[in-house]
Structure formats: structure tokens, C-alpha cells
Structure 1
Amino acid sequence: MLNHIKQSEYAGYLNLELSIDTSTSFSSIALSNKGKVIEELTWDAKRNHSVELSPAIWSIMDQAKLKPSNLKSVFIAKGPGGFSSLRVGMSFAKAMSLTLRIPLVSIGTLDIEINPYVPDKMPVFAMIKASAKSVYSINNLDGGNSVKVMNVDEIINKTTSQTIFCGEAMSVIGTELVSKLGNLAIVKEYNPPTRKASILAALAYEKFMEFGGEDIDKLEPVYISGAQYESATRQMKSKVKNQ
């Protein structure tokens, strides 16, 4: 059900935005007006982002009786995230921005994860799985400005007071954190999806109002390192070398 706004009224809004988050297997998209969501869809795309993203976007636009020409900006989650999944979302967002000549604004995936729990009086750590033994993490203690790679032991050693832990990595390490930290660990949402495109929309609109759109040529996703990423990097370097 659409959020208390008649479908026929959507096209009359002057600041309609499309938000896209394909950082991990769990994808989320939203239509919003000035950062306030009017339609949202979240699903487990597994590894089918390239097949499922476009139909999902056209579906929610059809439900709202909107056309691409109604959009005034595009918002994208830039990672950290999976190589293939992030690339699909970023490529689609850039194509929409270039084709429609509308601004593109990016937000870090961990910023989306941590946002529902800040500001808070206690420390908050948002995490996404980086490898079998490590996570990408940001926290509210340093303003969320520094993405770090940490393993579980490092997290435990740094936790000296009651702390909120959130993000998709909780499905992997949440139980262990509680087991080893006891009451010091407050784990939010063990099971994904843990991100919503509505949060992306709100953060990106705020950023857009302050800084405007971004340079598409300079905007790149932040990939989670891994075999797939390293293989693709070697192939790209080889192509450049042979040109």
C-alpha cells in the first residue's frame, strides 16, 4: 500500500527521487519526494541483481504511475559491498543520471546501516562482512568518518562499555559478540535485510541539499576485497596494459 498519497498525485511532485542499494545480496529501492519515501521494495536478489534490478524499478514506478521523466535525481549506495552487486546498481544509477540529465548522489552503505541508531548516548558500531574472519565497520565515536577492517577479537577487545552492534554482519557474528561480551553487546537485527532504501533517500536528499550532485566520472563504488574483485582487477589491468 502506498503511503497515504494517491497514485495520481505522484507525478505532480517536483522533487521525485529514485534510490538504489545493491551493496549485498539484499537489495532495496525506493521512490521518494524530498527524501520522504512514497514507495519502497526490499528483496533478496542473491546473485541475480543484473536480472532483477531493472524489472523491480519499473514495477514500483508502474505502481506509482510514474515515468523516468518524472525523476529529478538518483541516489545510490556506494559500498562497501560485493563487486558484481555494487557494479549493477552503480551502472544503472549512472545511466539514469546521464540519460535523464539529473543529479546523482551517493551514500556509504555503512552510513545507511548505522543511521537508525544514532545519535545515541552509547557507542554504535555498524558492520558488513568483509571476509570469513573480518568485517568492515564504522562507529559513531569518530563521527562515522572512518571505515575500518576488523576481526571479532579486535571488536571484543575494544568494547569496554555497553555498545550497540548493527548491520548485515550481525547474521554472522552477532551471536558470538553476545556470547563473549554478555550485557555489553546490544545486537540489533540479527537477520537481514538490515538496510532500507528509505534511509538512503533521506540521507542522500540531505546531502544533495547541502552539496548538490556528484561528478559521475569520479564516483566509484567501494568494493569488498575478495577473489572476484581481485580477478576483475587483474583483467582490467591486463586490458589497459595491452592497449
Structure 2
Amino acid sequence: MELCIDTSTRWAGIALAQDGVIAREASWYSRQNHTMEVAPAVQHLLGLESLTIPELSAIVIAIGPGNFSALRTGLSLVKGFVQAAGLPVVAVGSLEVEAYPYVGLGRPVCPLLDAGRGNLAWAIYEGFKEGEPLVLTEEQVSTLEEVLRAAPSNTIYCGEGISKVREELESQVSLEATLALAPSPTRHLSALAQLGHLGLQTGRTADPATLQPRYLRGPAISKPKPPKRIK
């Protein structure tokens, strides 16, 4: 079985899949406690199938973009598992996971994730071929205005970030566009599992030693204030 892990945002998810088909899964809203929650959840899920880490066939991880600390937590956990068991790893972009359920509709798909400070992480895809995205616009962080300038008029907008800009989208997009207003979590673990399995089949495994999350934005650390003058 493949273990799938997504800690891209506060919506965390883990799953066990057999050849890309979900066998068991769990998703929850984490209040920035990924460090304490994900590892026990993985052990619980494995226990339900009477499995141990070395008995897995591979690990699939959503690699971002997303929250800085959350992504680091997920990747650190995966690297620990790989070091202990020598499992292959497939890294899948979180925006690709958001887009995958909609790409069969024959229209451009623009997944959105909240990047903070009034910005969105986004890309535009026209489809997938053997699990690889066919990219119209590369992943980036910008304002909604820049998204709308780049997106074709018949784009399908989807993803967790829609909730942040729904009113603006509804008032500005073309009548040909579609807003996929799905309940959270919007990243389906079934999509992550399928993309991961396709990655395994086509040999697109990652080197755990050099694998890094796609942050698209650094950690939210404020600049230190200048020292006060002592009079």
C-alpha cells in the first residue's frame, strides 16, 4: 500500500491507497498543530490495516505550495519514514491535487490557495498526461487581479483559496467561467493517491535527501524592531 500525506494547509489529510485507490483516509482541520497530530494519525491508520511503515510500497506527499511550518512537518515525517524503511517517494504539487478532479472537463483549471497578505498561490492547467500537469501558467503568488488577467474566460476556478475571494470572483469573472465551490477539504486525497500512483508507474520518484517543499513564500517572521535609544 501507498501512504499519502498532505499537510499543505491547516486542512491536513492522510490516506492508505492500493495502486492509487483509497483504502482508508482521514482529514481534519489542524489549528497549526501538525507536529503533534500527523504522526499519531499515521500510526492509527496503519494500525487499522495491521501495517507497519516497512510494509508499505511507497509514500506520496503533497509538496506545496502551502503553509511554511505545515509543509516542513509533513516532509520531515516522510524523510524519517524513508530513512527507516528505504521507501520510494513521489512528490505531488498541492495545486495539482486541487486541480486534478476538474481537468477532465476540457477547460482550463485554476486552483487557488491563500498565500496570506492578500495574495493567492495559483497556476493554470489545461490537463494532465500520465499524471504530469500540462501547464498554461506556472505556479506563482500574486493578487487576484493578476490571476484574472492571466486566466482564459472559460476557466474553472477551484481550491481552498476560493473562499477568501469568492465575492470578488463572482463579480469579475466572465459568464463562461465556473467557480467550483466545494466543501473543505478541497484537496481530495483520492486525487493525491492517483497522481502518486501515476508517478510511481512512470518512475517520477524524488530523492528524499534533496526534496524541498514548494513554499512560494518564506516563513511569516516579522523584521526585528530597531533598538530603542536610551536617553
Shorter-chain TM band: 0.7 to 0.9
Q: 1:207 aligns with which of 173, 196, 199?
A: 199
Please give the alpha-carbon distance, in whole angstroms, between the structure 2 residues aligned to 1:48 and 1:225.
20
Cα gap change, 1:101/1:37 in structure 2, threshold over 3 Å: closer, same or farther?
same
Check conservation: 1:223, 1:229, Cα contact below 8 A: no
Q: 1:107 aligns with which of 64, 84, 92?
A: 92
- Once the two structures are superposed, the pairs formed by residues 91-106 of structure 1 within 5 Å of their partners are 91-106=76-91
**Identical positions, percent:** 31
Check conservation: 1:171, 1:190, Cα contact below 8 A: no
Q: Which runs of 5+ in 2 are unaligned?
A: 127-132, 225-231
Cα deviation, 1:79-117, whole Å, max 9, x if unaligned, reads 001111000100001111110111111000001000000
Q: 1:143 aligns with which of 134, 154, 169?
A: 134
Is 1:83 paired with 2:71? no
Please give the alpha-carbon distance, in whole angstroms, between the structure 1 residues aligned to 2:214 and 2:94.
9
Check conservation: 1:61, 1:67, Cα contact below 8 A: yes
**Higher relative strand content:** 2
Q: 4+ runs of 1 displaced by more than 6 Å? A: none
Q: Give the length in aligned residue pairs.
A: 217
Q: Which runs of 5+ in 1 are unaligned?
A: 1-15, 235-243
Is 1:71 paired with 2:56? yes
Partner of 1:168: 160
Amino acid at match of 2:134: G
Q: Secondary structure at the match of 1:94?
A: helix
Check conservation: 2:140, 2:216, Cα contact below 8 A: no
Please give the alpha-carbon distance, in whole angstroms, between the structure 2 residues aligned to 1:103 and 1:222.
19
- Once the two structures are superposed, the pairs formed by residues 1-243 of structure 1 within 5 Å of their partners are 16-141=1-126, 143-144=134-135, 146-159=138-151, 161-181=153-173, 183-189=175-181, 191-228=183-220
Check conservation: 1:94, 1:104, Cα contact below 8 A: no
Please give the alpha-carbon distance, in whole angstroms, between the structure 2 residues aligned to 1:222 and 1:139.
16
Check conservation: 1:170, 1:191, Cα contact below 8 A: no
Partner of 2:129: none
Q: Secondary structure at the match of 2:105?
A: coil
Amino acid at match of 1:132: R
Amino acid at match of 2:217: S
Please give the alpha-carbon distance, in whole angstroms, between the structure 2 residues aligned to 1:200 and 1:207.
10
Q: What is the CA distance between 1:132 and its match in structure 2?
A: 2.6
Q: Taking structure 2 as the reference length, what is the TM-score of the superposition?
A: 0.86
Q: Secondary structure at the match of 2:106?
A: coil
Q: Secondary structure at the match of 2:116?
A: coil
Cα gap change, 1:68/1:159 in structure 2, threshold over 3 Å: closer, same or farther?
closer
Cα deviation, 1:201-220, whole Å, max 9, x if unaligned, reads 11011111112532112210
Check conservation: 1:134, 1:152, Cα contact below 8 A: yes
Partner of 1:238: none
Q: Which moved more, 1:90-99 or 1:129-138?
A: 129-138
**Higher relative helix content:** 1
Cα deviation, 1:110-168, whole Å, max 9, x if unaligned, reads 01000000033222111111223221111124823721223112233344523210011
Check conservation: 1:29, 1:42, Cα contact below 8 A: yes
Amino acid at match of 2:166: G
Q: What is the CA distance between 1:189 and its match in structure 2?
A: 2.5
Amino acid at match of 2:172: K
Cα deviation, 1:15-60, whole Å, max 9, x if unaligned, reads x110000000001110011111100111101200001001111111
